Structure 1
Amino acid sequence: MLGFYVALVAATGVERLAELVVSARNARWSSQRGGIESGRGHFPAMVALHTGLLVACVAEAVLAGRPFLPWLGWPMLVLVLASQALRWWCVATLGPRWNTRIIVVPGLPLVSGGPYRWMRHPNYVAVVVEGVALPLVHTCWVTALAFTVLNAVLLARFRIPAEERALREAVPRTR
C-alpha cells in the first residue's frame, strides 16, 4: 500500500500544479480588470506549508514505517477525494475570480452561489480536511497534527483576515 500512497501524494502534487496554472491564468484575467493583490507577505509561507505537507506525508510514511490501517485509511481517502471535489467546486463557482493569491477585482459583487451559498470560505474547509485526511490515509499522524496546527495559525492570523480586508475594501456593499 505504500506505493499506492506515494502515488496518491504525487497525484495531489500534480493537482497543485494544475491549480497554479489555473491561478496564473486567473491572475491575468483579474489584472486586466484592475485586480488588486493583497496579502503577499504570507503567500511564501503558504507555499512552503503546502509543499511541506506533501513531502512530510511521504517522509513520515517511509522513515517512520507507518502502516496502512484499512479502518482509518479508506475513510481518510474518501475525505481526501471529497476535499478535492469541494476545492474544484469552489474553483468552478468562482471561475476566473478564483486564485491561490488574494486578488480582488474592485466593484465585483461577492459570489454567493455554489458552496459559497452555505459558507464563507469553503476552499479553506477543503484545505483543512485534506490536511488532516491525506496524511492519515497512511497513519502519518505527526504530519497531520503539524500541518493542522500550522495551517490553523496561517489561516486565522494571516490569510482569512487579509482576504476579508481585501473584500471589504473592494466589494460594493449591498443591502
Structure 2
Amino acid sequence: MILFLIIITWVIFQRIVELYVAKVNERHVKDLGAIEYGARHYPYMVGMHVLFFVTLISEVIWTGFQTSPVWQPLLLVFLGVQALRLWALMTLGRFWNTKILVLPDGQRVAEGPYRFMKHPNYVVVILEIVLLPLIFQAYVTAAIFSVANFLFLYFIRIPKEEEALRHYQK
C-alpha cells in the first residue's frame, strides 16, 4: 500500500506541475503568435487522463494493493520512461505543452529524443498507461485505457498535430 501511495502521489504531483508549466508555456508561445489546434478534443484528453487515475486508484483499492510478481523490473522500466519524458520536455523547453500550439514558420524540433521519433511524449504516455497499472496488477485499467489512449492518439490527437505542423511549419 505504501509503495502505491508513494508512486501515485508522485505521478499525480508530476502531472499537476506539468499542467502549470504548460499554462506558463502556453502564454509564452501565444505571445509569439502560436496558433492552437485541437482545442475541441483537449478537454476529452484531460478527462481521459483524470479517469485513468480514478480507475487505477479504484482498481488497486478493490484488488487490495497487490504488486505484480515482477513489479521491480516494471518499476525500473517506468522510471526509465520518466527519464524519456523529462528529456522530451527539456528538449522543447518553453515550447513544450499539453496543447497543440504551433508557431507559424517555426521549425520542427529534431533534437533530443525527437531525433529518433516524432512523438516521444506520446510513447511515454502509452508506456505509462500500460506500466503503472501492471505494477499493481490493475489489469482492467491497463487494458481499457491502453485501447482508449491508442484510439485517441491514432485517430484524433496525432493526426491533428501532424496537420498543424504540416500547415504551419517548415
TM-score (norm 1): 0.93
Q: Give secondary structure in 2 for the equivalent of 1:70.
A: coil
Q: Is contact 1:90-1:123 (8 Å) kept?
A: yes
User: What residue number does 1:92 align with?
Assistant: 90
- What is the aligned counterpart of 2:143 among 142, 145, 150? 145
- What is the aligned counterpart of 1:158 among 130, 143, 156? 156
Q: Is contact 2:4-2:65 (8 Å) kept?
A: no
User: What residue number does 2:40 align with?
Assistant: 41
Q: What is the CA–CA distance in structure 2 between the aligned matches of 1:50 and 1:85, rounded to whole Å?
A: 20
Q: Give secondary structure in 1 for the equivalent of 2:109.
A: coil
Corresponding position: 1:69 with 2:86: no
Give the 5 Å matches for 1:64-143.
Answer: 64-65=63-64, 67-71=66-70, 73-143=71-141
Structure 1's unaligned 5+ residue stretches are: none
- Share of identical aligned residues, percent? 40
Q: What is the CA–CA distance in structure 2 between the aligned matches of 1:76 and 1:41, rounded to whole Å?
A: 35
Q: Is contact 2:38-2:160 (8 Å) kept?
A: yes
Which stretches of structure 1, 4 residues or more, deviate above 3 A after TM superposition? Answer: none
Q: What is the CA–CA distance in structure 2 between the aligned matches of 1:156 and 1:56, rounded to whole Å?
A: 22
**Structure 1 counterpart of 2:75, one-letter code:** L
- Note the aligned Cα RMSD (angstroms): 1.1
Offset of residue 104 of structure 1: 0.6
User: What residue number does 1:23 align with?
Assistant: 22
TM-score (norm 2): 0.96
Offset of residue 66 of structure 1: 5.2
